[in-house]
Amino acid sequence: MRVGVLAIQGDVREHARVLTELGADVTLVRRPAELAGVEGLVIPGGESSVIDKLSRAFGMQQPIREAIADGMPMYGTCAGLILLADRITDGIAGQETFGGMDVTVRRNAFGSQVDSFETDLDIPALGAPPVHAVFIRAPLVETTGAAVETLAALDDGRIVAVQQGNLLGTSFHPEVTGETRFHQRFLALVASR
């Protein structure tokens, strides 16, 4: 199974390591030809506005949008979730997304870097034990469309993990805590396609 990690900015190595440990053949994707050679794509955390600008500069925005429309499985963490959202609030002027998920996401919803936090989340779709989630300048899913499945929410009901078809997104960073179940879920989407 050949999968890619969008490698233009963000925590690329961490995702590549988890996917490799799970047995996937991982390609670092920076160009359209590299995207064409993979069966699924992870969009890592980082700075969503920078990834947006660089994806356009590298000629990747349209090929990623086309891959989403064609049903390619994708998993976005933090900034990656923002980029998979159809709508963002408080984006910088001119900021765009790849889209595909019928959600509205708020950038930096929990505050600045100093407001980062960790918590355990019960996620029925993943079973026990709870997921130890690390939120770093994390986004929040504010609204979801009818086709979107909420996978995880904080105790106060704020949504932090979603799935719509072959698109998966988390506000937090499983790749930094040794949590592999979201990556396994992503690879299962790739395998079933």
> Out of 96, 132, 149, 175, which one is annotated catalytic?
175
> Out of 14, 15, 78, 179, which one is annotated catalytic?
78
The answer to whether 21 is a known catalytic residue is no
- Angle at which helices 48-57 and 61-69 cross, to 10°: 100
Nearest-angstrom CA–CA distance, 19 and 14: 9
> Out of 14, 15, 173, 179, which one is annotated catalytic?
173
86, 109, 158, 180 from 99: Cα distances, Å? 4, 19, 21, 25
Strands of 31-107 (E only): list them: 41-43, 74-77, 85-89, 101-106
The answer to whether 78 is a known catalytic residue is yes
Nearest-angstrom CA–CA distance, 129 and 132: 9
SS3 label, residue 99 = coil
Nearest-angstrom CA–CA distance, 82 and 27: 22
Annotated catalytic residues are 78, 173, 175
